[in-house]
Amino acid sequence: MSAPAGPGEAGRWTWAYEGYDPAQERLREALCTLGNGVFATRGAAPEAAETDGVHYPGTYAAGVYNRLTSHVDGHTVENEDMVNLPNWLPLRFRLTAWDAGAGTPPGPWLTPDTARVLSYRQTLDLHAGTLVRRMRLADPEGRVLRVTQTRLVSMDDPHLAALRTEFTAEGFGGELEVESGLDGDVRNSGVARYRLLDSRHLTSWRTGTARRSVLWLDCRTSHSAVRVSLAARTRVPGARSVVPRSRSGERAAVQWLRVPLTDGATVAVDKTVALHTSHDAAISDPLHAAVDRARRAADFGRLLAAHRDAWQHLWERAELEVPGEAGAILRLHLFHVLQTVSPHTAQLDAGVPARGLHGEAYRGHVFWDELFVLPYLNLHFPEVSRALLGYRHRRLDRARLAAADLGRRGARYPWQSGSDGREETQTLHLNPRSGHWLPDHSRLQHHVGSAVAYNVWTYAQVTGDLEFLHGAGAEMLLQVARFWADSAEWDGDLRRWRIRGVVGPDEYHDAYPDAERPGVDDNAYTNVTAAWVLGRALELYGDLPAQRREELADHLALAPDEPERWEELSRRLHVPWHHGVISQFEGYGDLAELDWAGYRARYGDIRRLDRILEAEGDTVNRYQASKQADALMLGYLFPAGRLAALLHRLGYPFDEDIWRATVEYHLRRTSHGSTLSSLVHGWILARTHRAESWEYCREALLGDVADVQGGTTPEGIHLGAMAGTLDLVQRGLTGLDAEGDTLRLDPAPLPQLSEFDLSVRYRGHWGIRLRLEGGRLHIGVPVSSQAPVRLELGGRTVAVPPGGAYIMDLPDT
């Protein structure tokens, strides 16, 4: 699998970039981000203290948002953003002469942008969780300085980060001036199309120096009033005579060290940083906590050792071995997933940011991407899944208010969520191709509620966590069901219930051509998942212990006839069809056909077809053209048998031939303007059109590392797509499906992914091994005191006891 130019060199446990390329710097920064689930910092050069069009230092903490109001093009726009926090990285250096004190001026600050670069290599070490940068720089006088920097954001202590910089003079001796600082003069300016909006989120800066030369910076967000405090300790190990000089400014604090250099000898400068916010638990004051933590932190070597040990434990729980370049990319994806939602995240009130903690695209909001992330986490880090579902449960009251605003019972979760669960979807968005600000109706993607309910159910099936399912889980699932029940309208002509005025996962179609109101009717994905939610709500309500059922009915003010309505709707919701296939929404088949070949010839890349058509004065609403999988998402969520049962329950004929025809129809009419599109199509094609699947799986793997969407990855990685590729191997190709007390397996390996070795956590069993090799699937259950694992595979049901194994021969394909 050969990636396009610029994606980096993939080793088994490393991701490396050779040479300095300013044009690729922001992509590298995103892909070399380091984090621990509490905060993350982009892989920007420490000497790039300011945003300069090449570099973009950014540090983001999970759940830290701020709201600003902007005035753009005659409109008032309010947005809540994940805040770019003060930059802890700044560390720059320059050579001086031994007699600098006698008046010799220092040389220029040495950076790859200002010096002659003799060599440059940047390596992300996935196993150790470090970013290592090696470079040889020559100053204007020809003096060569070798520099090695090792950076970590501690997975052991989630409030610490550290940077070691090692300097070696080649062929000269002298003195090095090192400047280390904390910079609070930062904005959210990492996304070009947001730059007309107000971006100054921090205010009330204070700086200073504490005992033992610990620099500190304290500020707060302007609206949400979250205090953010950093403290930094910069030292030269083994050189107590090198004492830093400090200066505190209004928004930044700086220290200088003068470090002697001897020809061929290496000297290190260690910077250790603590970051706390007022969201943190068990602290009284974030500034005191940061200064105390920075002062007490171990030396760099011990911090690094503890950090590596913590990563080792994560890799053991998330074990995944796939040969070749695909395996290297999957490991990189896993690294970024674990940096965004780690076990430390389980202690926070935070959701799943669609673009990770890696940049400012989508404003750090929480969409439906947990639908692609939690299925992976359920089988490795269920405590993190439960915590992320807790984020949704804590915002259930806000979702109830959103439903009430529409005159409905139940809960309407927002398409974009941030700090408090209100709808954060913008009312206007910019088309960068035309420069037009356009109405944004994507808040009508009410199907996000079904994603929340689906995640509740699947988490409980994998873990057997009835305490959660009967408690917070039941409250969420039943409230989403109530919203769907109140959203449906009876159509006497169709003799069906209908859900009108929505937007589906496609996102392109937000209205009918020339319609006055936004939304489309009976989006198939929306209606079928709503029917599924209603059915699960009915099942769950009936299974609750009588006391809990009565308690929940009182708490939700559940009317006696509501479960009967759920039953009716779960069997009578309308699903549109045309030409013998599932239609994307009612009337989709009546839209015009697009000249796909003509548009590709004219524009080349037509992934963002919506922007192209709008810039032409047209609209995608007129055409049978989808941004990403919509109706076909049903095949991603539900195995074939379960999807057939759902549609049969709704009274529709459905078989393998109908599904294949539906896949073929919609696949031809999709522009793949989302990284999720290739993932979902690769997943479903592995079952229906195996020969075509790898093309899409390959694009899903390359999506971020090669920036397939053209300039989007520098603004933040696509977390759902990354986690989805892991789940493609874990569940898609194995057919792994947990339902009740049975683990089902229905392998469908691809020739290009025909060998893999992974382990999963299922209920009380840690480390069930699934190994595909030589056309055989080996299932091993680790030794424990748990009951046997009940497996259903190849038409057989077997019970594998702890310490036992089962081998399944796969049919030839």
560 contacts: CB under 8 Å, gap ≥ 6: none
Give the whole-angstrom CA distance, residue 232 versus residue 181. 8
370-378 vs 382-394: helix crossing angle, rounded to 10: 140
Residue 684: phi and psi, rounded to 5, are: -75, -30
Say how far apart CA 504 and CA 519 lie, in whole Å. 9
Query: Residue 232: which H helix or E strand, with range?
Result: strand 227-235
Token couple for 406: 């529409």
H or E element in which residue 767 lies: strand 765-773
Specify the pairing of strand 75-82 against strand 39-41.
Answer: unpaired
If DSSP codes are grouped into helix, strand and coil, which group holds residue 413? Answer: coil
Please state, as a whole number, how many other Cβ atoms lie within 10 Å of the Cβ of residue 122.
22
What are the backbone dihedrals phi and psi of residue 407, each rounded to the nearest 5 degrees, phi first?
80, 25
Are 110 and 95 in contact by the 8 Å Cβ rule? The answer is yes
- Kindly tell me the burial class for residue 452, based on how many C-beta atoms sit within 10 Å of its own C-beta (0-12, 13-18, 19 or more): buried
Residue with tokens 């809960």: 411
Q: How far are the Cα atoms of 215, 288, 301, 654 from residue 207, in angstroms, in the given order?
A: 8, 13, 28, 66
Q: Give the integer Cα–Cα distance in Å for 445 and 760.
A: 32
CA–chain centroid gap for 54, Å, is: 24
Helix residue spans in 193-323 (DSSP H): 286-296, 300-317
| Element housing 24 (H / E) | none
Beta bridge partners of 66: 81
Q: Where are the alpha helices (DSSP H) in 544-576?
A: 546-556, 562-572
* CA distances from residue 388 to 62, 64, 383, 384 in whole angstroms, order as listed: 12, 15, 9, 6
Q: How far apart are CA 276 and CA 59, in angstroms?
A: 12
Give the span between the Cα atoms of 722 and 700, in whole angstroms.
Answer: 8
Question: DSSP 3-state assignment of 392?
Answer: helix
Residue from 238, 244, 258, 185 nearest 215 by CA: 244
Give the Cα separation of 408 and 552 in Å (integer): 19
Cα gap 399→480, rounded to integer Å: 9
Closest by CA to 273, choosing from 246, 251, 312, 303, is 303
Active site residues: 507
d(CA 542, CA 544): 6
List the structure tokens of 361.
């695209």
What is each CA distance from 461 to 43, 52, 456, in whole angstroms?
A: 38, 49, 9
- Among candidates 263, 270, 232, 243, which has minimal Cα distance to 149? 270
Asked if 735 and 748 count as a contact pair (C-beta separation under 8 A), the reply is yes
Provide the token pair at 695. Answer: 């093309």
CA dist., res. 353 & res. 362, Å (int): 9
3-state helix, strand, coil in the chain (%, to 5): 35, 25, 40
Between CA 229 and CA 743 the distance in angstroms is 47
Q: Which two tokens stand for residue 238?
A: 């083994």
Closest of 486, 468, 335, 474 to residue 408, by C-alpha: 486
SS3 166: strand
